[in-house]
Amino acid sequence: MGRAVREARTARNAGHDRREGRGASGTTERDLTGVLMYEMVRARLRALVGRMRRDAGMVTSEYAMGIIAAVAFAVLLYEVVTSGQVKTELQNIVKRALSARM
């Protein structure tokens, strides 16, 4: 726990001079609330960042499955592109492009 939080809690527990709105350490209650809120938000962000770092990427088995899926897709795409009908259409497109007048 940070020094500012300890001081804020001590001042809050010691009581405030309600007429002046100041605590025992000379800080206002609003200042203390801001410090406490800041520390709480900061602690929450630290916890979230720590949680994200623990699960930052894929494990080896996930990489293996991703590679297998990519290879399977590549084989499927190769088979489609090298099939007779697609091959003929691609050749026709290239012939038309090369014989076009500019």
What's the angle, vertex CA 96, arms to CA 90 and CA 100, rounded to 5?
150
**Could you tell me which residues come within 8 angstroms of residue 15 by beta carbon, excluding any fewer than 6 positions away?**
23, 24
pLDDT in tens, 6-24: 665 665 555 544 444 555 5
* pLDDT band per the 50, 70, 90 thresholds, residue 74: very high
Q: Looking at residues 41-51, what average pLDDT do you find?
A: 83
Indicate the burial class of 12 (C-beta count within 10 angstroms; 0-12, 13-18, 19 or more).
middle
Q: How many CA atoms lie within 13 A of 37 on its CB side?
A: 6
